A and B are shown apart, each in its own frame.
Chain A
Amino acid sequence: NAGVIQTPRHKVTGKGQEATLWCEPISGHSAVFWYRQTIVQGLEFLTYFRNQAPIDDSGMPKERFSAQMPNQSHSTLKIQSTQPQDSAVYLCASSQKEVFFGKGTRLTVV
């Protein structure tokens, strides 16, 4: 069991570019989550899928952020027109009962 796999581990984008972050949940887990971690805001919930269906995206910024789960083996978080304030560690997690987090993708917008 390799755990939750997130790629890339580090991504640097220029302001205004698009960033796509990938997550492979643990096989058999029905729930997938995205969180954002920053020094200032700490760990913030973004969105949640169950059995690939979007259930709760109440933490997602209304503009520029979108998440999808096209199949049970991966989810993506896309940020359009990235801004410096989007710089953060984006964590994906999956769960059947216990929540397991990936190592995160550190996004830096320059």
Chain B
Amino acid sequence: GDSVTQTEGQVALSEEDFLTIHCNYSASGYPTLFWYVQYPGEGPQLLFRASRDKEKGSSRGFEATYDKGTTSFHLRKASVQESDSAVYYCALSDPLGYKLTFGTGTSLLVDP
């Protein structure tokens, strides 16, 4: 079945550091890829999505590029802020476009 792998369980950075969270996927066909962010006591919120090879999604300074060749959708941000501290989930949707499969999540802690 479909799966999403996030290798970093926790990331600790200082403000203005560069962020990379790795995401690799395994799926048949051409899934849509997502990044979600979850704050304490809240449900996951969509950060952005990408649907085709080489498409870049971006929001709030975060970005990721759909790479079908390496089956990756790595999240990057050039300069993190304390307010970016949250859990980040990479996800994909099945060909019918409704069932989301999530990675295990990466907890980002940014020190001021």
On A, residues with C-beta under 8 Å from B are: 4, 31, 33, 35, 42-43, 45, 48, 50, 55-56, 91, 93, 95, 98-104
Kindly state the separation between the CA atoms of A33 and B43 in the bound complex, as whole angstroms.
13
Chain B residue with the shortest CB-CB distance to A47? B99
Q: Is the interface of B mostly helix, strand, loop or mixed?
A: loop
On B, residues with C-beta under 8 Å from A are: 41-46, 89, 98-105
Q: In the bound complex, do residue A31 and residue B102 qualify as a contact, i.e. CB atoms below 8 Å apart? A: no
Q: In the bound complex, do residue A56 and residue B43 qualify as a contact, i.e. CB atoms below 8 Å apart? A: no
Nearest chain A CB to B47 CB, angstrom units = 11
Q: Is the interface of A mostly helix, strand, loop or mixed?
A: strand
Q: Contacts A42-B104, A42-B105, A43-B89: A56 and B44 contacting too (C-beta < 8 A)?
A: no
Nearest chain A CB to B92 CB, angstrom units = 12
Q: In the bound complex, do residue B43 and residue A91 qualify as a contact, i.e. CB atoms below 8 Å apart? A: yes
Kindly state the separation between the CA atoms of A98 and B43 in the bound complex, as whole angstroms.
14
| A contact residues around B103 at 8 Å (CB) | 42
| B contact residues around A55 at 8 Å (CB) | 98
